[in-house]
Structure 1
Amino acid sequence: MPVPSDVSDVVLHYLPVRAKAEHLRVLLHHANCTFEDKIYGFADGAWPAAKEAHTFTFDRLPMLTFTKGGQKFAIPEGVAISNLVSKWAGLAPADDEEAALADAAYSAAGDVVKIELIYNGFIKDKEANDKFLAGAVTHLKHMQELLGTNAFFGTQALCAADFLLFFLCDSMMAYRPELLEDMPELKTWFAKVREFPAVAKYLEVRTDIAAAAW
């Protein structure tokens, strides 16, 4: 389904890192959804103040807020946001088994997030990066096994898991370009996702970690 006509004031709330929000930005763009990309910084005290004020459910981000039919909604947790926006974008698998596999892939891809954060500047230590990257390679080989002979993690069509894992790999490849060289199926998958119009456009306009709204 497209973005409901009575949805307005859409805001994606996140931190000045790519991590769990980059794929959500692309999903929102693919859904032709106008949204505000609101960043809560560390240095300026915006994020510490938001936590202190208990601004967000669970005191963590991302969160998607919007108004629908005059009612305000606040959706926490990346998986819930991605499921909703995937429906808006027409990328939610209709088949129950395909949807289950897509959910499994999304959950498994999310396990790379703490590794991906290393490449967003939290740790500037090469030894620490290499250690985490070794774990990522093992995990990515498991992801390749899950992908199997399918074109995408939604089997024949892209789903949120494809976007999430793509951008995690993209960040890690900035540190180690040859990351997928020994994983041919995943390397082919990565190239296909990169050609997807919404992804290609995002990569063209992305200028820094705190990516601007579309």
Structure 2
Amino acid sequence: MFCCPTDAQGMTVQSDAGVVSDVVLHYLPVRAKAEHLRTLLYHAGVTFEDKIYGFADGAWPAAKEAHTFTFDRLPVLTFTKGGKKFVIPEGVAIANLLSKWAGLTPADAAEAALGDAAYSAAGDVVKIDLIYNGFIKDKEANDQFLAGAVTHLKHMQELLGTRAFFGTRAPCAADFLLFFMCDSMMAYRPKLLEDMPELQAWFAKVREFPAVAKYLGVRSDIAAAAF
């Protein structure tokens, strides 16, 4: 159950005023595509179950075998609202919904579009194979990937411009997504942002955002050096 948060920045936001229960975020034993979703749930004040489907214990292979989820991939968000059970697949759709729950969707269409553009661009930072490799197996491939990631991050800095956050006046899903990607890459290359002062300042601001700080204080060590 949750109540929509107030907006400390004074923005006009769109939010979902309904009450939900039995919220479950279904994901794998890696950080990858779920860290920012967990943070959005924290910001929205939602109590949720973080359900992990392991590889070694056979939980995820069994779920795929049973066709538990429509597209046989995760993340998936399930919840009950108004007596109806909802199953939301696909990370982008989940992030959009949770952003509304968290009151982080600008009512202004142009500002919302900027946030959407940043979210899409942030997702381009990584490749799915490197998410699962976790910067461990192939140093040459990882170094090559990170060189490309640095170029893309400089483009993200250009998109950010003089704004404090990609969400214009408050963080949005793009801020959380890119933050955790950078956080994971910095486990392999601590000075990832050394030549990007604006992005360094942005990273520090997002780290101190209450929902992020709270999540960082309680998250598990699952694939700590990876995604």
Q: Tell me if TM exceeds 0.5.
A: yes
What's the secondary structure of 1:107's corresponding residue? helix
- The aligned counterpart of 1:37 is 50
Deviation at 1:122, TM superposition (A): 6.9
Deviation at 1:36, TM superposition (A): 0.3
Superposed displacement of residue 171, structure 1: 0.3
Q: Is the 8 A contact 1:19 1:116 kept in 2?
A: no
1:28 to 41, 65, 78: 41
Moved more, 43-52 or 66-75: 43-52
Post-superposition shift, 1:113?
Answer: 3.4
> AA paired with 2:112?
A
Distance apart, 1:209 and its partner CA = 2.1
1:173 and 2:197 aligned: no
Aligned sequence identity (%): 86
Deviation at 1:41, TM superposition (A): 0.7
8 Å Cα contact 2:77/2:94 also seen in 1: yes
SS of aligned partner of 1:47: helix
SS in 2 for 1:37: strand
Match of 1:58 in 2: 71
Aligned to 1:93: 106
Q: Are residues 210 and 7 of structure 1, via their aligned partners in 2, closer, same or farther at CA, if it must alter by over 3 Å?
A: farther
Query: Do 1:109 and 1:164's aligned partners in 2 also have CA atoms closer than 8 Å?
Result: yes
Per the TM alignment, residue 131 of structure 1 is displaced from its structure 2 partner at its CA by: 1.1
- TM-score computed with the length of structure 2 as normaliser: 0.87
Distance 1:137 1:179, change over 3 A: same
Letter in structure 2 aligned against 1:142: H
Matched, 1:204 2:197: no
**The residue matched to 2:127 in structure 1 has which SS?**
helix
Deviation at 1:118, TM superposition (A): 4.4
Would the alpha carbon gap of residues 184 and 116 (structure 1) be closer, same or farther in structure 2, given more than 3 Å must change?
farther
Give a deviation string over 1:39-69, Cα, whole Å, max 9, x none.
0111111111111211112111101000111
Q: Aligned-residue CA RMSD in angstroms?
A: 1.9
Instruction: Show the 5 A alignment for 1:57-206.
Output: 57-114=70-127, 117-118=130-131, 121=134, 123-206=136-219
Runs of 5+ consecutive residues of structure 2 not aligned to the other structure: 5-15
Is the 8 Å Cα contact of residues 126 and 149 (structure 2) preserved in structure 1? no
Q: 1:178 to 1:115 in 2, by over 3 A?
A: farther
What does the per-residue CA deviation read over 1:84-111, in whole Å, with 9 as the maximum and x for residues that have no partner? 1111111111110010010011011111
Question: Is the 8 Å Cα contact of residues 32 and 131 (structure 2) preserved in structure 1?
Answer: no
Quick check: 1:30–1:89 contact (8 Å CA) kept in 2? yes
